[in-house]
Structure 1
Amino acid sequence: MTTPFICIEGVIGVGKTTLTKAIAKHFQVDCLLEIVEENPYLEKFYEDMDAWSFQTEMFFLCNRVKQLEDIHPLLLQGRPVVSDYHLTKNVLFARRTLQLKKWKQYERIYQILNESLPQASVIIYLKASVDTLMERIQHRGRAFELKIDRDYIAQLASDYDEAMNTLKTHTTVITIETDHLNVIDNQADLNFIIDQVQPYISSYLN
């Protein structure tokens, strides 16, 4: 049986990191969090996507590949891992932001790097309306995210739906609507999600 590698995914602001930390804490398993604010190109990217998209996407790809390589020994030891991203998001963002020539280059690099990386056993796909996402982005208050416009978020939501529909043909994808969930302040909401994760991880817990 494959050691559980549970990935939480969804559009910017949907609550991936918050839920990832909560699930890891509840089950007392290892937690993998993506590097975002450390990306030196990100603010420039949101100011001029055409000029800085390739640098931004390559930084994310290389860092995430390194993180996934680092957790591989844990999974081989039978230690479950919960992550606040799935590597397919790299393709999703790069395909949307890169010019065709750069996209083709990026796609080849991605395919090579992804060949030997651990694959998710379960994906928790968090969804929310565009209104909710925009509110959460504003509430979080990251300076570079405040520049994101509504149309961009709406397009990302559509892209994520398409990506998850593809992934669920060969990976377990659990879709959860989060507009009316508050996993920070409402234990019942958190328990609702934990109950759905439990069957995929319980056999590996001490």
Structure 2
Amino acid sequence: MLYLHGGAYVNPLVRAHWSIIGAVINATGATVTVPLYALAPKNDYRAGTALIDDVFESIVSTQNGDKVIVMGDSAGGNAALTLALRRRDDGLSLPDQLILLAPWLDLSSKDPAMRELEQGDIMLSVKGLRECGKMWAGDVPPSSPYMSPLYADLRGMPPMSIFQGDRDIFVIDARKFAAKARKAGVEVDYQEYQGGFHVFMGVTFLPESKDVFRRVKEATASDLKLGSKS
């Protein structure tokens, strides 16, 4: 497994990320690689995605028939999706599966419905997200498909599991993205948790978090036969 951490593309790994990674290892027994990719504002997407691409290719080249799964939270979920989009469009092998925890799907965060939920979100703000998205995108429009998978053609993408809380402003785009991916023929397991804040899985002892890791275990152990769709 390749794990890509969140932090709006401006913040490094924190303890909650390591808690998630540890819970995933305990649940699945997977070998997990965690790249420390370059961040904004010192860098834009070019340095970060170059490292992610190289690390994924090195994993694929030594997999010996094992499944290769890419997992990410928040901005890391964005990075997981854009990695798969680049490889699909370049005619390269894809991850066997994507596992996305509260993924950041639109770097421009332009859906006005996000503003309506903002007051109840204890972690994210639309204004801050937009600034971080601009820094990461650099000279590319933040809403372009390779920056914001919500606007990408999703045909041919690998199976996905998406775990999302409903007290997170990203839930607006997550619902739309799951529906769009299914319409494109992608196998999607979308699970939404009532009262879940942004990347609540980082608090690993919560009942909802334990359910997420149980489902991750089932999904990764089922030879890509994902759980029930909702």
TM-score, normalization by structure 1: 0.52
Cα 1:202–1:153 change in 2 (3 A) is same
Local SS of the residue matching 1:77: coil
Q: Give the aligned CA root-mean-square deviation in angstroms.
A: 4.3
Q: Deviations over 1:42-73 (max 9, x none)?
A: 234xxxxxxxxxx5111122111111102214
Instruction: Indicate the structure (1 or 2) with the bigger Cα radius of gyration.
Output: 1
Cα 1:162–1:125 change in 2 (3 A) is farther
Counterparts of residues 5-20 of structure 1 (less than 5 Å): 12=8, 18-20=19-21
* Residues 60 and 68 in structure 2, CA contact (< 8 A), matched pair in contact too: no
Q: 2: CA distance between counterparts of 1:8 and 1:57?
A: 14
Any gaps of 5 or more consecutive residues in structure 1?
45-54, 92-106, 135-148
* Residues 11 and 160 in structure 1, CA contact (< 8 A), matched pair in contact too: no
Q: Kindly indicate whether structure 1 or structure 2 has the higher relative contact order, using CA contacts under 8 Å at least 6 residues apart.
A: 1
The residue number in structure 2 matching 1:66 is 54
Cα 1:164–1:202 change in 2 (3 A) is same
Q: 1: CA distance between counterparts of 2:128 and 2:123?
A: 11
The residue number in structure 2 matching 1:133 is 123
Local SS of the residue matching 1:72: helix
Local SS of the residue matching 2:100: strand
The residue number in structure 2 matching 1:77 is 65
Cα 1:186–1:153 change in 2 (3 A) is same
* Residues 201 and 208 in structure 2, CA contact (< 8 A), matched pair in contact too: yes
Aligned residues: 155
Cα 1:11–1:118 change in 2 (3 A) is same
Counterparts of residues 37-52 of structure 1 (less than 5 Å): 39=38, 42-44=40-42
Structure 2 residue aligned with 1:201, among 216, 220, 224? 220
Cα 1:70–1:63 change in 2 (3 A) is same
Structure 1 residue aligned with 2:127, among 146, 151, 168? 151
Any gaps of 5 or more consecutive residues in structure 2?
105-116, 134-169, 224-230
The residue number in structure 2 matching 1:184 is 203
Q: 2: CA distance between counterparts of 1:173 and 1:89?
A: 15
* Residues 19 and 183 in structure 1, CA contact (< 8 A), matched pair in contact too: yes
* Residues 6 and 122 in structure 1, CA contact (< 8 A), matched pair in contact too: no
Q: 1: CA distance between counterparts of 2:89 and 2:30?
A: 26
Local SS of the residue matching 1:132: coil
* Residues 35 and 52 in structure 2, CA contact (< 8 A), matched pair in contact too: yes
Q: 1: CA distance between counterparts of 2:82 and 2:70?
A: 18
Q: 1: CA distance between counterparts of 2:62 and 2:44?
A: 28
Local SS of the residue matching 2:44: helix
